[in-house]
Structure 1
Amino acid sequence: MQQKIIIVIPARYASTRFPAKPLAMLLGKPMVQHVYERAKQVQGIADVVVATDDARILEAVEQFGGKAMMTSEHHQSGTDRLIEVMKAYPADAYINVQGDEPLIRPEDIALLVAQLGLPETQVATLCHAIHAEEAKNPNFVKVVLNQHKQALYFSRSPIPYPRHAEHATYYKHVGVYAYKKQVLEHFYELPFSGLENAESLEQLRLLEAGIPIQALTVEETGPGVDTPQDLKMVEAMLTGQSVAPPENPLAKIKLVITDVDGVLTDGGLYYNQDGEFIKRFHVRDGLGIRMLIELGVQVAVVSGRDSAVLRKRIADLGITRFKLGVKDKFQVCNDLMQDCGVTKQETATLGDDSIDLPAFKACGVCFAVGDAAEYVKQHATHVLKLNGGHGAFREASDAILVAKGLYEVLSTTDGYAKIMDMMVQ
């Protein structure tokens, strides 16, 4: 008896880096329509449903003749949205196809359909081979496989570790999932996963619970769309134009201006019995600051507060450019850029609250920490996963160094040894 399989396309409206992304026009059609039409080409599919949190996307899908369903705006992931769809559209299995993958190949999805026909398959996904340099990019999720082509582990780090590089083969994970309904029915019953939390990868919850994930190898896939620049690249590919990948703006950064409270600290003010307050800093942020400085990126501190505690921390880290007790961060950032001889595009800033918005306006690259207010994240070019005072600055500094081709300093003994003598935390 043939299984009933439904493709679900999660499509959120409020993307941080590209608001209204599913409705962005691509060759005269909203992007979500391209994904929907490719999904409809897959043989053996009973239905295709767009799962959205916004009436504008629902209306757009219905206008081109597609099927869509409103789902809760509080879902944290595409899997959450898929589970809600499952309650309204019963089936034997479901395939989750992201709404920002307009170049997804129907034949690749068809491989997942075939895999779902095997009784032993519970979850399946896709991957493809990449070069060693690509594997260093933490924005690419990598997967290692066993002899049965099942996932052993997923990571943002390069896995396997290339101690003997000639034996290392790297696979990039393609975020398309196929689930038997039984897995989704019990998904929320799975125990909390420390691995999932550490890597911010939901699929690790399944592996840690002992649920195998079959990984099918395909040819290299086209890029997904996370930014307007990605959309232009995809459009060029669809029209047969040659296009160079956009330069990573982080590779140009020569100056990083950081806030303190809520970025280098957790935002707390702790008073002792004498009425003096202390702050909690994170040592990994300190190391990230020193790495940037030693590798030629200037670091400046701008804060609305001034205190002996803060001045001591700045001195310990060897930061020579700082402005404390600042009210107008826009002007201060422009003054620092002029003093350092850098442009707006060569300057990054980190913030967490409304007081940092003038700095965001002044600088070309703006990082919002993971627990920043939502209205601040909307103005950021990059949203970090880690919270202020919990390694957020280090996450930003690592991303800058990786973009500059300095990954070995972070990941190898020989690379770190070049700057080790100047490191403090």
Structure 2
Amino acid sequence: MATTEQRVAIVIPARYGSTRLPGKPLADIAGKPMVQHVYERALQVRNAQIVVIATDDERVANTVRGFGGECVMTSQDHPSGTDRLAEVMSKIDADIYINLQGDEPLVRPTDIELLVRGMLDDVNVNIGTLCHTIDAQEADKPNTVKVVLDNNGNALYFSRSPIPYPRDNVAMSYLKHVGVYGYRQQILIDYSKLPTPMIEDAEKLEQLRLLAAGYCIRAYLVEPTGPGVDTPECLERVRALMTGQSFTPQPALEHIKLVITDVDGVLTDGGIYYDSTGECLKRFHVRDGMGMRLLEENGVRVAVLSGRDSATLRKRVTDLGITLCQFGVKDKASACLELMSAAGATVEQTACIGDDCIDLPAFSACGMSFAVADAPEYVKASATRILSATGGTGAFREVADAILMAQGKGAVLGSAAEYAKVMARMAQ
């Protein structure tokens, strides 16, 4: 039976800092900052009494005050959004707290109402969230968090991997977790005292801390939702949807399965050195080699494509264990297509890195192209993206790190335990 006496607060965390999109809460969408769109939609939730934005940055706070919204300042040191919510609880009194992310400008107020109503109607639901169906292609993306439920609608597990796994190619259905949570007050009090389990460290999903501790998380099924804003491309897509404009999606880093790189001017600084015997010498950056191995060990193939051929180059490629390569190539567009076929990658799943006009045919053949920072302006104009690193100073590593982060495998870059899993097979 519904309990109307319970106070419900919607808390919208809005951190200014974002690795992939700095200043994200203030990004303009149809003439308003994104956080204002989220706030105005939250105000439409009929069974909530309080709506407040929680931020750690005065720039966001001043913007919120400017459009007449309520905000509270929180610490910059919280390890998770749930910990931030617990701080808000000490300032805002309520029985149920709804954590609504500040990068969801297309959120439907009726979905939040469904979550609130479910918790008001059943006092045994201490934690609630949302989910919706997705297809197998979406389920394969590491940035899409999947959930499987028991017969009562409680979450059995959340994962970045496709779950359940289709061992015998049976007909499958997948559920995407929508990152909106409802917590009763006591849960937030308990949360910070819980140990961090291995599964949370592995998946980088904070809700697994609650599951590991034995708490039930009730998931309510809704219709597929609009996209959130995680990257510049997501932002452009949301802008198009909210203004009624057409949007042509570009190939995304999370889909890349093959990276084709030029050598001179990308893996090297472009210099060619000769010793007294006439032997050609080149200077390679050790971090680029590490980036190649990290990609290969994490399921992204690397191919070397060069208009030149030399014993030095072949030795370097052999040392790195790169088996996809073509040397002395004149037609780079055709060579790219051959490398895609060998790697089992489509045009949209392939990125290339170049530095000069000889690489322009490769740019046109691949779904995504990167120009090093010191490439000529006309080469940069033809590239999908421009790197901050110059040739021979870690340009390939910059691409490799971006791909690993986009594909949810960034832990291998900053965790000794994750790196140890692949280091034995790597050479720089």
Would the TM-score normalized by the shorter structure come out above 0.5?
yes
Find the counterpart in structure 2 of residue 314 from structure 1. Answer: 319
Tell me, in whole angstroms, the C-alpha distance in 1 between the residues paired with 2:72 and 2:202: 32
Q: Does structure 1 conserve the Cα–Cα contact (< 8 Å) formed by 2:8 and 2:48?
A: yes
- Deviations 1:99-145, CA, capped at 9 Å, x for gaps: 00000000000011112211100101000001112111111100001
List gaps (5 residues or longer) in structure 2.
Answer: 268-284, 307-314, 327-352, 373-387
Alignment RMSD, CA only? 4.1
Q: Aligned equivalents of 2:115 and 2:238: distance in 1?
A: 24
* Structure-1 residue corresponding to 2:341: none
Cα deviation, residue 188, structure 1? 1.4
- Which of 99, 103, 107 is the equivalent residue of 2:102? 99
Letter in 1 for 2:301: L
- The equivalent residue for 2:48 is 45
Structure number with bigger Rg: 2
* Paired position in structure 2 for 1:108: 111
Deviation string for 1:205-242 (max 9, x for gaps)? 11111100000000000000112322222122223334
Q: Distance in 1 between matches of 2:320 and 2:180?
A: 48
Paired position in structure 2 for 1:216: 220
1:200 aligned to 2:204? yes
SS of aligned partner of 1:221 = coil
CA distance in 2 between counterparts of 1:347 and 1:391 reads: 28
SS in 2 for 1:174: strand
Distance in structure 1 (CA, Å) of the matches to 2:316 and 2:97? 56
Q: Distance in 2 between matches of 1:207 and 1:172?
A: 17
What pairs with 1:215-234 in structure 2 (closer than 5 Å)?
215-234=219-238
Aligned length: 348
Contact preservation (8 Å) 1:317, 1:424: no
Provide the residue aligned with 1:271 in structure 2.
none
Distance 2:157 2:101 in 1: 21
Aligned partners of 2:259 and 2:301 also within 8 Å: no
Q: Any gaps of 5 or more consecutive residues in structure 1?
A: 266-280, 301-309, 322-332, 350-355, 372-376, 396-422
- TM (normalized to structure 1)? 0.70
Q: Secondary structure at the match of 1:358?
A: coil
Distance in 1 of aligned mates of 2:82 and 2:403: 21
Alignment of 1:7-406 (within 5 A): 7-117=10-120, 118-249=122-253, 251=256, 254-255=259-260, 260=286, 264=290, 287-288=297-298, 292-293=301-302, 297-298=303-304, 314=319, 342-343=362-363, 345-347=368-370, 357-358=389-390, 366-368=399-401, 384-387=410-413
Partner of 1:411 in structure 2? none
Give TM-score, length-normalised by structure 2.
Answer: 0.70
Question: Which whole-Å CA distance do the structure 1 matches of 2:73 and 2:225 have between them?
Answer: 29
Contact 1:143 1:173 in 2 (8 A): yes
Shift of 1:74: 1.6
Residue 5 of structure 1 is matched in structure 2 by 8
- Distance verdict in 2 for CA 1:39–1:185, change over 3 Å: same
Q: Is the 8 A contact 1:196 1:205 kept in 2?
A: yes
